[in-house]
Amino acid sequence: MTKDQMENDPPIGELVKLAAAGDRDAFATIVDAQYDFIFRVAYKWLGDRSDAEDVTQNVVIKLAKSIRQFDGRAQFSSWLYRIALNAVRDHQRQSIRQGRNVAALSLVSPTAAPSNQEDDVTMNEVWAAVRQLPEKQRDAVLMIYGEDMSHAECAAIMDCKEKTVSWYVHEAKKTLKGLL
């Protein structure tokens, strides 16, 4: 999408209202604007390009079915992130049921690539350990350290208080000390 197109497009709130009312062009504009965001989230959590593409497609389908449910109480990006995160979880559960080792697939660090191979092994081990944490702890750590979100943003997506997010991170750090 070009800068001129973005300036001429209605704000996301208006696009969502139009899409919820059945406007296919508005929905297509939303998908075009958010597709890379959805893919990036899925890839960071899964670490596998093919799986991330599958999840992204599923999120677009879920978005089409659920856009009427967006009530504007949260930011659209937080609401969409929650849909993407739920799709990632569904994919991970399905992979486990099929006997695939999710942790082995998820060795890609959600942060920038380390500068040397020794750091790479260490970062892969850390993120593999993070992905083995209980779900809420893992989600909080990945959002705060992998996505560079604030505790407030994380709390909005997880639908809990900031203090709860802080507690999840604290518990995760204690668990990771034991794992590493």
3-state secondary structure of 17: helix
Asked whether the beta carbons of 97 and 135 are under 8 A apart, the reply is no
Q: Same structural domain for residues 89 and 36? A: yes
pLDDT in tens, 50-78: 999 999 999 999 999 999 999 888 889 88
pLDDT in tens, 71-123: 888 889 889 999 999 999 899 888 777 765 444 434 344 444 434 444 444 77
Query: What confidence tier does 125 reach under pLDDT thresholds 50, 70, 90?
Result: confident
Q: Same structural domain for residues 112 and 93? A: no
CA 13 to chain centre: 21
CATH number at residue 17: 1.10.1740.10
What residues make up the domain containing 143? Answer: 107-180
Of the residues 47, 82, 101, the one at which a domain ends? 101
pLDDT at 151: 93
Q: What is the pTM of this model?
A: 0.68
Of the residues 101, 116, 136, the one at which a domain ends? 101
Mean pLDDT of the chain: 81
Q: Same structural domain for residues 137 and 78? A: no
pLDDT at 60: 95
Q: Same structural domain for residues 56 and 88? A: yes
Whether residue 171 is contained in a domain is answered as: yes
Whether residue 121 is contained in a domain is answered as: yes
1 contact partners, CB below 8 Å, separation of at least 6: 9, 32, 33
Rounded to whole angstroms, how far apart are CA atoms 82 and 176?
25
Query: What confidence tier does 145 reach under pLDDT thresholds 50, 70, 90?
Result: confident
Whether residue 180 is contained in a domain is answered as: yes
Q: Same structural domain for residues 83 and 28? A: yes
> Residue 31 above 90 pLDDT?
yes
CATH number at residue 130: 1.10.10.10
Which segments of the chain are extended strands (E)?
none
Of the residues 49, 70, 101, the one at which a domain ends? 101
pLDDT at 65: 92
> Residue 141 above 70 pLDDT?
yes
Query: Would you call 82 exposed, middle or buried from its count of C-beta atoms within 10 A (0-12, 13-18, 19+)?
Result: middle
Q: Which of 136, 128, 124 is nearest to 171 (CA)?
A: 136
pLDDT at 44: 82
Phi-psi region of 88 (alpha: psi -120 to 50; beta: other; left: phi over 0): alpha
Percent of the chain with pLDDT strictly greater than 70: 81
Whether residue 2 is contained in a domain is answered as: no
Q: Same structural domain for residues 95 and 123? A: no
Asked whether the beta carbons of 60 and 38 are under 8 A apart, the reply is yes
Q: Same structural domain for residues 164 and 113? A: yes
Report how many domains make up the chain: 2
Enter the tokens of residue 112: 């920038």
pLDDT at 120: 46
Q: Same structural domain for residues 130 and 52? A: no
> Residue 148 above 60 pLDDT?
yes
pLDDT at 97: 74
